[in-house]
Amino acid sequence: MSALVAFSVTPLGVGEHVGKIVADAVKVVRDSGLRNSTDAMFTLVEADSLAEVMVVVTQAIQVVAAQAPRVSTVIKVDYHPGRVDGLTQKVETIERHLAEG
């Protein structure tokens, strides 16, 4: 894997309760078959190419845009050719350092 992308989509103009709309965007990511994880702030997606990830991010934005008049999106990209399993490897490295004290 070489592209690790963290992104969030926020539907605007639909009120405060946006969980269902955001869940629809996360479903697009999960249905993509790419490695992913979601936390309270971002969804992370990992693939062999940046283009592959950006297709899924674009689809997630479009799903939200179909339900909201405006969409705010934050995207952070870690592009590292040759890296394998950055989605978990980075966290494991931090945990190892914490365990060492």
pLDDT digits (tens, 9 = 90+) for 31-67: 999 999 999 999 999 999 999 999 999 999 999 999 9
**According to the model, what pLDDT value does residue 52 have?**
96
pTM above 0.75, yes or no: yes
On the question of pLDDT at 9 being above 80, the answer is yes
Q: What is the per-residue burial (b if ≥16 Cβ within 10 Å, else e) of 21-45? A: bbebbeebbeebebbbebeeebbbb
Is residue 64 within 8 A of residue 78, CB to CB? The reply is no
Q: Which fold has domain 3-100?
A: Alpha-Beta Plaits (3.30.70)
Q: Please, which residues have CB within 8 angstroms of residue 52's CB and are 6 or more apart in sequence?
A: 3, 34
Task: Return the pLDDT at 1.
Answer: 63
Specify the pLDDT at position 82.
Answer: 82
